[in-house]
Amino acid sequence: MPDNVLDKIDPKILGERLKSARRAFGLTQEAVADKLGFVRTTVVAIEKGERHVAADELIAFARCYGRNVSELVKQSAFTEALTPQFRAALPNSQLETPLPEDQLFRACHELEARAEDYLELEQICKAPLPQNYQKPYPLEDSLISPEQFAEDVAQEERNRLGLGDAPISDLRAVFEAAVGLRVFFYEMPPFIAGIFGFNDRLGGCIGVNIKQPWYRGNWSLAHECGHFLTTRFYADVDIMQKGRWGKHRAERFADSFAANFLMPRSGVNRRLSEVEMSRKERITIADLVTLADYFGVSVQAMCLRLEVLKRIPTGSWDRLKAGDFKPDKARQVLGLLRSDRRHSKWPSRYLLLAKAALEMGELSESQVAKKLRTDIVSAREIMQELDSLVVYEEGEQFSVIPVDLASPVSAE
Amino acid sequence: MASILIQDACVLINLLASGRFEDLANGCGFRFAISAGVAQEALFLRNPDSVGREKINLERIVECGILEILTLESEAEKLRYIEIALDLDDGEAESVAIAECRHFALATDDKKARKVIQRRGMKIELWSTCALLQHWQSKCLVSDADMGRALANISSRAKYRPKFGHPDFEWWAKLLSK
């Protein structure tokens, strides 16, 4: 008789995982006991790690919570999840109309799940994410306004990252490669712009709603990075609803950081002066749209920034809106509406690690598909795109020159 | 040779994409089966007529008796499944556990699944997509042209092809060009 595998799994770790899965699914211990035909004390004892779980029971728990058994029994240590942080960050108490908490919570849980998957890929490939984290800037201790503090921090971060005051062509790459944040774009409910969470194990994790236009996604990303730089031990859920946070210092800082980091005062002023000098005319709406595109922000964000910088009169954006100005129509006319401009769902490093793990036989195709939140055939397509960049034909001979993006350049 | 061949999700997708699943099931000398976990996975193929994907419907081939769906039965099977789930996904772990406990053959192309089977010293008769197709071709005298069409279907609908350096890479490429 072979050894019982369940005796080898730490009941405390398994119990914690079962508890976390139950909570994520929104069930009480009593409801689970009723559903599975157990007594409540059995569920309590299993979750506390005081009683070993039987094979049938484990399979029943997994099905009840919509989880895989493989997820529940994996051998990594259970660590405190980001999820409770998110629960505290959910802003319903500050809103006039409460938002559907289950949808908010699912979006937060998804960020954590993706970050966990990323970490697992790094562990498989023995390639930890290089983290270039500054100590949090002391926003709470600062005596100046959050807006002024944000301008100083944005400038310091730009200097630290060697960005000068030029537009950032790929903001995500900067935050991923130069800072070491985990950035994911995925579908969230329409009222969420972005999410931020942090713990020592996963590092800084940012989720951005992929349904937003490209430039709005940049703003959300920079906004969440603002939270990482200051109040990183508090999770954030950025809700697209007017007046949501009142004058909360952290939110004012994050918004102002986004504006200053994406549109640095000196860079915007210089570019604007170049435009003005070349034509000796005042700024036109076309200039505004072009400038927004140049800095990768929305026309509204650029217009409000120019108002703050006193380059255009206060209230200009309100007047444009009142005149039924349509930014997308303007972009189209100026040839700036590009359908290929969208954020990819996955960090390219994530895809390369998944491919390397597949090639090494450390992950199966099904496991890779689950990590990419897709089906097996779609996962194959994504993996193939990474390695068959060149098809070589010589006469009637068909051959593929594999260009494996996950392999080292100096491979022999 | 075992009488029942249990397929993992990846091989099942490939064989269904070939357009010859029924012929393969009748001509390979095995009864085809999958685990309930594999049946529950989201299984799709690329649609040849559009850019979209189509959900695989197993109902018809199960009703016709071409494919059998197996569930974990004994305590030993369930324990083995949980043990293998430490390394593999649920559908794969079920397939391996059932194949081992019931002495069935297992069809998988997966490097990781094969690695786990080898590392655990499991005695399972292993098949791959290419091995099954080659077996079917020689047993049923399938023409190279027909085989080439089946491989083209697998390439386009399941996005599977042996990689450069795979032992069957040349065989696949040669038949594909027929």
Tokens of A154: 């944005």
- Give contacts of B83 with chain A, Cβ < 8 Å: 5
Are B43 and A363 in contact (CB < 8 Å)? no
Distance of residue B164 Cα from the nearest chain A Cα, in angstroms:
7
Question: Which residues partner with A296 through β-bridges?
Answer: none
Best residue in A10, A124, A364, A388 to probe B by mutation, most B CBs within 10 Å?
A364
Closest approach of chain A CAs to the CA of B152, in angstroms? Answer: 15
Chain A residues near residue B79 by CB distance under 8 angstroms: 2, 4-6, 55
In sequence order, what DSSP letters do the residues of chain B get, joined into one string?
Answer: --SEEEE-HHHHHHHHHTT-HHHHHHHSSSEEEEEHHHHHS--EEE-TTSSSEEE---HHHHHTTSEEEE---SHHHHHHHHHHTTTS-HHHHHHHHHHHHHT-EEE---HHHHHHHHHTT----EE-HHHHHHHHHHHHT--HHHHHHHHHHIIIII---PPTT-TTHHHHHHHHT-
Are B90 and A69 a contacting pair at CB < 8 A? yes
| Numbered residues of chain B with Cβ closer than 8 Å to any chain A Cβ | 8-10, 13, 41-46, 53, 72, 75-76, 78-83, 85-86, 88-93, 109-115, 157-160, 163-165, 173, 176-177
List the single residue in B78, B112, B113 with the smallest CB-CB distance to A55: B78
Distance (Å) from the alpha carbon of B102 to chain A's nearest alpha carbon: 16
For residue B117, which residues of chain A lie inside 8 Å, CB to CB?
A: none
Question: For chain A, what percentages of helix, strand and coil (3-state, to nearest 5) are there?
Answer: 55, 10, 40
- Whether A382 and chain B come into contact, CB under 8 Å, resolves to no
Chain B hits for A69, Cβ within 8 Å: 81-82, 85, 90, 93
Q: Is residue A225 within 8 Å of residue A175, measured between CB atoms? A: yes
Q: Which amino acid is at B97?
A: A
B79 with A56: Cβ contact below 8 A? no
Indicate the helix (H) or strand (E) that contains A98: none
Q: Which residues pair with B53 in a beta bridge?
A: B46
pLDDT recorded at residue A90: 63
Partner residue opposite A55 with nearest CB, options B41, B75, B112: B75
Cβ–Cβ contacts within 10 Å for residue A246, how many? 8
Q: Does A364 touch chain B (CB under 8 A)?
A: yes
DSSP classification of residue A305: H
**Percent of chain B with pLDDT strictly greater than 90:** 87
Q: Do A70 and B115 touch (CB under 8 A)?
A: no
pLDDT along chain A (412 residues), means of 10: 74 88 86 92 93 92 90 68 65 65 82 92 92 89 88 95 93 94 95 90 94 93 94 79 63 93 95 82 87 94 94 92 89 83 90 92 94 95 76 49 57 46
Best mutation site among B77, B86, B166, B168 for testing chain A: the one with the most A CBs within 10 Å?
A: B86
Separation between Cα atoms, residue A351 and residue A379, nearest integer Å: 10
- Could you give the ipTM of this predicted complex? 0.94
CA distances from A388 to A382, B15, B164 (A): 11, 23, 10
Q: What is the pLDDT of residue A339?
A: 72
Q: Do residue A68 and residue B90 have CB atoms under 8 angstroms apart?
A: yes
Cross-chain Cβ contact A367/B89 below 8 Å: yes
Q: Is A366 in contact with B92 (Cβ distance < 8 A)? A: yes
User: pLDDT tens across B112-147, in order?
Assistant: 999 999 999 999 999 999 999 999 999 999 999 999
Count CA within 13 A, CB hemisphere, residue A324: 0
Helix (H) or strand (E) holding A398: strand A397-401
Nearest CA in chain A to B80: A5
Q: A5 vs B79: CB contact, 8 Å cut-off?
A: yes
Q: Count other Cβ atoms within 10 Å, centred on residue B156.
A: 15
Minimal C-alpha gap between B20 and chain A (Å):
18
E strand or H helix at A34, and its extent?
Answer: helix A29-36
Query: What is the per-residue pLDDT for B174?
Result: 92
Which residues, 6 or more positions from A177, have their beta carbon under 8 angstroms from its beta carbon? A349
Rounded to the nearest angstrom, the minimum Cα separation between B8 and chain A is: 10
Report yes or no: A68 at the B interface, CB cutoff 8 Å: yes
Cβ of residue A69 closer than 8 Å to a chain B Cβ: yes
A5 near B CB under 8 A: yes
Secondary structure of residue A318 in the 3-state scheme: helix
Within 10 angstroms of residue A247's Cβ, the number of other Cβ atoms is: 8
| pLDDT the model gives residue A406 | 59
CB pair distance less than 8 Å for B10 and A363: no
Burial class (CB within 10 angstroms; exposed 0-12, middle 13-18, buried 19+) of B148: middle
Q: How far is it, in rounded angstroms, from Cα A138 to Cα A404?
A: 44
Interface of A with B in 163-222 (CB under 8 A): none
- Tokens for A199? 């713990």
Residue ranges in chain B whose pLDDT is less than 50: none
Cα separation, A143 vs A94, whole angstroms: 25
Q: Are A400 and B13 an interchain contact pair (Cβ–Cβ within 8 Å)?
A: no
- Indicate the pTM of the whole model: 0.87
Residue B33, both tokens: 């089966």
pLDDT tens string A361-371: 999 999 999 99
Dig out the tokens for A371 from the structure.
Answer: 């990590």
Considering CB atoms only, which of A70, A362, A377 is closest to B112? A362
